[in-house]
Chains A and B, each alone.
Chain A
Amino acid sequence: MTVQRQYTLPHCNLVLEGLSADANDPLSPLAVLMNAECHLPGATDATLSGGREFLDSLVAAVSRYGQQLLSGVPYPRATGSAPPMVEIKPGDLPYHHHLIVQQQPLGDRVNDVNALPPLDIQLTTVQFYDLMEAVDQLLADTQTLPDMKAQFQAVSRRLVRPTEPMTKRATPAALGAAALAAAGLALFFVPPPEFEPTRPESEASAPAAASAVPGEPPRTDGETSEAVAADGDSLDRLESAPAITDAATIALLQSDVTQRLQEAWADVPRPSGDLAYRMAVSEDGDILGYQYENDLALEEVDNTPLPQLTFVPVAGAEPVRERVAQFVATFTPDGEVRLEPTETPAETEEPETNASETDTSKAGTSEADAAELPTLEDKVTDSDRIRELNSDLYDSILAELEPLSANEDLRFRVRLTETGEVVGYEPVNAAAGLLVNETPLPNLVTTADSTANQADFQVVFTESGVLEVNPWDGWPQ
């Protein structure tokens, strides 16, 4: 049975015709939609009509446009696809809307002969509202086309066209690129800064501290080249390095490096013969370079701690500017490490001391005294005498003692003759070697050479400024 459903509003009349699903029930929904007609009195005399496709398209267009009017966000149509059968666009005047309907002759395919121009109907807002309301009533009506449901979907963020035009949005980016180009052009003419690797502060200050030791003769370039010439071959990189001439520093380095080599060499197999290396040591005690002196040394070099202990400089090709001391290190088959300076600093000092003031010359001799003391052969054995010597030494040192700048104890071994003359002294710890000239000891040396019976005493200048003197071998019983 054919049924007709009609949705009537002042400016819109939507009529649907179709076959009812149940012929006996007048309220049963439409099973098949045969025709949909839309009259828009007041807007157009034409009747818009079509089948299900037309109705679907009309509903979709009205829904979409209604939402667009409410939100102000235009719904983007997929580009490239054919225009839908029904489309609504905003009009040129405000509150005018264009309903555009593609017309299609019935039963025929569209061709050039029978194609009709699309129908363009201008609607006011109220007329559009009536059209929308008719559609909404159809959608809400469950007894006409129950399968036709309202589909509401907010427009996705990705589909929304930005409100600013492309040129406006591109301006900041273009400005940025232009500024970068301009800056690049301007900086093109500025020469690149030259980078010189500098040593860290701590390393740089260490030689300065060491050179502050008084009594060290000023060095000249001539002397440096002399030292290097004496050195002859080897250690190319260190050739131009000035030599350390201070005997105390060398002694200190010698013991320090010996100890480190000995420790590092403890666990390796012993060589079959002596391994001799010439090595250069910086004032900090870093081994800057080494070279084998005999063939066995070359073969066994990996068994020595030298490769590990060698300080690898930042710029390998740079000649070393630091002052270095040269040693010959000998690793014996017994597991001992011996370190000997390659040259005696006293030799290079001699010309300098003549030109210097008397203080310096005194210091020069004191340095010779400060060198290692030979083993004592003829010891003072009289216990009373030792006690006397001890108290005399204490008094004489105290008489000339001035506050020291040391921040640790300074230990010295001081040798006296039986008559109480100071033969020599030797720093026991590193600080003592560096600060020996702040102590009264250099001025107390009277007889460098004496064959008389001698006694050794330990002299300690403690950090807190207390002087301690006692016999080296302990108090006699």
Chain B
Amino acid sequence: MPVDSPPAPQPPLVIDTLANPGLPSDECPRRARIQLDLLLLAIEALDLGGSEAMLGTARDLGLEGLVKGRVHLWLLRGTNPMRRYSQRQPLNIEEAKALVIIICTLARRLTVVVRQLLVGYQQLADKQLSPEHHFRLADYLSRFRSHFRARMNPRRAGVIAYSSDEKLDELALELLQELLLCAGVLGPQRLWNSLFDGEVS
């Protein structure tokens, strides 16, 4: 039977589809916190109303208990140690799950755009042309760069590595690819498990 209908709407308890990783503590590892925030940053660069969409998605999926409004979302994203206003407080597993669900839901909505950008980039790369020749791609990249520079602490070692435009473009394209991979049917599970690669015993 061909499956051409969109996947069934997520049950309210979408969180339960993500298994707990065998971590010694209830806190997310550093790489996971960075990864989640950067993916959200890429979504914001793709979609001008991205930050509103994040809150709307959280409401739609019944995740208000975990992402309690704009400030709390900002605090959660602030657990990324690269941030200018980095929060010392940990990101716990349940909150991370909510962020994963939000990222994957938005990525699915943005699948068409992401595909277009990636195909366009591939074509430019095959012709050895720079991404500036693709209007939407250039738009995405410049927006990502300005978001990144506005919010990340330039004195952190992890941020210094992305000091040049080329490095940031590379990061933006990597995140674009990751967003595409998250957009699939099993995207949340794949993203969730990839966060703990090399962290579990």
Contact = CB atoms under 8 A, between A and B. Distances in A.
A126 interface: yes
B197 A69 contact: no
Interface in B81-131: 115, 118-119, 121-122, 125
B181 interface: yes
Given A154-B21, A154-B199, A155-B197, A70 B178 contact: yes
Interface residues of B, number: 40
B197 A136 contact: no
Contacts of B191: 70
B180 A126 contact: yes
A136 B184 contact: yes
B194 A95 contact: no
A94 to B, nearest CB: 7
A70 B118 contact: no
A152 B19 contact: yes
B182 interface: yes
A67 B2 CA distance: 26
A294 B104 CA distance: 105
A136 B185 contact: yes
B10 interface: no
A63 B181 CA distance: 11
Interface centre among B122, B125, B180, B185 (most CB of A within 10 A): B185
Contacts of A5: 1
Chain A contact-residue range equals 35 or more
Q: Is the interface of B mostly helix, strand, loop or mixed?
A: helix
B137 interface: no
B200 A157 contact: yes
A140 interface: yes
Given A156-B200, A156-B201, A140 B7 contact: yes
Interface in B13-29: 19, 21
Given A154-B197, A157-B199, A126 B115 contact: yes
Contacts of B197: 67-68, 71, 73, 154-155, 160
A139 interface: yes
Contacts of A137: 3, 185
B189 interface: yes
Contacts of B115: 126, 129
Interface string A34-53: 00000000000000000000
B14 to A, nearest CB: 14
Interface centre among B31, B178, B195, B198 (most CB of A within 10 A): B198
A70 B198 contact: no
Interface in B158-182: 170, 173, 177-178, 180-182
B78 to A, nearest CB: 22
B196 to A, nearest CB: 4
A124 B173 CA distance: 13
Interface of B: 1-4, 7, 19, 21, 31, 35, 115, 118-119, 121-122, 125, 170, 173, 177-178, 180-187, 189-201
Q: Which 4 A-B pairs have the closest CB atoms?
A: A70-B194, A71-B194, A73-B197, A154-B196
Given A67-B190, A93-B125, A153-B193, 8 more contacts: A6-B2, A63-B190, A69-B177, A70-B194, A152-B19, A152-B190, A155-B200, A160-B198
Interface of A: 5-8, 26-27, 63, 66-71, 73, 93-95, 124-126, 129, 132-133, 136-137, 139-141, 143, 150, 152-160
